[in-house]
Amino acid sequence: MSNFLPNELVKRLNEQEGFDSAAFNKVHEQGDKITSIRLNSLKQDSAPFENVNLVQWCDKGYYLAERPIFTLDPLYHAGCYYVQEASSMFIAHILKEIGLENSVTRALDLCAAPGGKSTLLTSYLGNESLVVSNEVIKSRANILADNMVRWGTANVVVTNNDPSAFNRLPGYFDLLLIDAPCSGSGMFRKDHETIDEWSLANVKLCSDRQKRILAESLNSLITDGYLIYSTCSYSKEENEDILDWILNEYAFESIPIALDSDWGIEETQSTKHQASGYRFYPHKVKGEGFFVAVLQKKENQSSFSRKKIKFEKNVVPSKIVSDWVEERQDYTQFMHGDYIHIFPKNYEEDLRWFQQVLYIKQAGTNIGKWTGRELLPSHDLACSIHIRTDLPAKDVTLDVALQFLRKDSLEIVDFTAVKLGWCLIQYKGTNLGWIKILSNRINNYYPKEVRIMNL
């Protein structure tokens, strides 16, 4: 591992007026670890840790005094919060500034894994919006789907597609978020091992990749729709130069975002078009390296044919659904194989359009498997904010909760007061998953693919 930052990187940063290379180098040498979380306000209304400080640009974000072992916190597994780098939470401020907080918005998070920005979108856009959360790499798409399940909302579609697939939905999305794959210099303080992997050649490779991703997805944005473009790179070639490239090739307009001068965020401008961008330097903000910019599409974007699609007959027994899910007029249910899903009624036809052109991993909330006689409830339902609150449940101690999360056997003596059948395991009033209580044993239904492997 190198003890020094790449000379070429620092040299280029020094070309920026007023850049403090001594402070920049020092903060990387110190290597302080900063931990921040963002609350899921639909499940948790206050930070579950002591001695926290608010992230100034995100009213749901908190800095922690020290980094706990999140694996040992059942509330982490329950989706009560997301461990997210504070600089990335600036997108919450952007959504407020451009008027999309609690709106009716069709949003695409194009490079979404592991899910931090998608969970942020669902929290701030509100339940009247639809979030399509996409990841091109299959293994990462599985992680993305798990994190979206934990968050618990049904207005999400998780897809596993190359960016080019979204060209088949021209003029559909109101918001396109591209947190582009990059050379990663903004993470040097957090991960020193990446320093030796950095090179100008990789910066060029990433810049070319970013242009390809943009070129293959910008048609999916509606006229006057917003593009939020971000990287965790310091390199101008991946940041301001990309803004100039977009403004050269497409009809977009740069949208400035109001800042509080106390935040330490640096506003920059691209060389040719003076497009506004926002840089986060770890010697100036309490966060890692980050770049973000907002552009608004101004060209007249034609749309795909939004013809009516004939729905298959809904064979879902509505009484079964209402036995498990809070009744809502704005949600519908559908069958996918043997599984029942709930989904926002306003976007039911949209989902049919997606099915024509995208590979969908998950749509809405899978509430369980219908056997023809009964519903076998899913883990997704246990995590859902739409689950009925009067279902059988048992609040357990931390030790029992961790046993459950390891998918260990549970002692029947701990559940003698609970009647036989399906029961939710809760910790501090929050659902963790399902058990089934039988006369002589407890069956643990926590999914083996997300269980705690080591403590």
Token readout for 333 is: 């249910």
- Residue 455 pLDDT: 61
Strands (E), 16-80: 36-39, 53-54, 61-63
Consecutive 10-residue runs of the chain (455 residues): their mean pLDDT?
77 92 93 94 96 98 97 98 98 98 98 98 97 97 98 98 96 98 95 90 98 98 98 98 98 98 97 98 97 97 82 72 91 92 96 95 97 94 97 97 96 91 97 96 96 82
Which among 206, 232, 383, 423 is annotated as catalytic? 232
- Residue 227 pLDDT: 98
Determine the 3-state secondary structure of 173 from DSSP.
strand
Tell me if 279 is assigned to some domain.
no
How many Å apart are CA 314 and CA 333, to the nearest integer? 8
- Residue 307 pLDDT: 78
Token readout for 362 is: 């998950």
Q: How far lies 351's CA from each of 305, 354, 454, in Å?
A: 14, 5, 39
CATH for 404: 3.10.450.720
Q: Residues within the annotated binding site for S-adenosyl-L-methionine? A: 111-117, 135, 162, 179
- Residue 317 pLDDT: 73
Tell me if 244 is assigned to some domain.
no
How many Å apart are CA 131 and CA 362, to the nearest integer? 12
Edge-first strand order for the sheet with 36-39 is: 53-54, 61-63, 36-39, 81-83
Tell me if 427 is assigned to some domain.
yes
Tell me if 83 is assigned to some domain.
no
Asked about 232 being catalytic, the answer comes back as: yes
Residues 6+ positions from 18 with CB-CB distance below 8 Å: none
247 φ, ψ (degrees, to nearest 5): -70, -25
Token readout for 325 is: 């899910």
Q: Contact, 436 vs 424, CB < 8 A?
A: no
Tell me if 431 is assigned to some domain.
yes
What domain range includes position 406? Answer: 392-455
Tell me if 51 is assigned to some domain.
no
339 φ, ψ (degrees, to nearest 5): -105, 140
- Residue 274 pLDDT: 98
For residue 403, how many other CB atoms are within 10 A of its CB?
20
- Residue 312 pLDDT: 66
| Number of folded domains that form the chain | 1
Tell me if 428 is assigned to some domain.
yes
Tell me if 237 is assigned to some domain.
no
- Residue 304 pLDDT: 86
Helix/strand/coil (H, E, C) string of 215-260?
A: HCCHHHEEEEEEEEEEECCCCHHHCHHHHHHHHHHCCEEECCCCCC
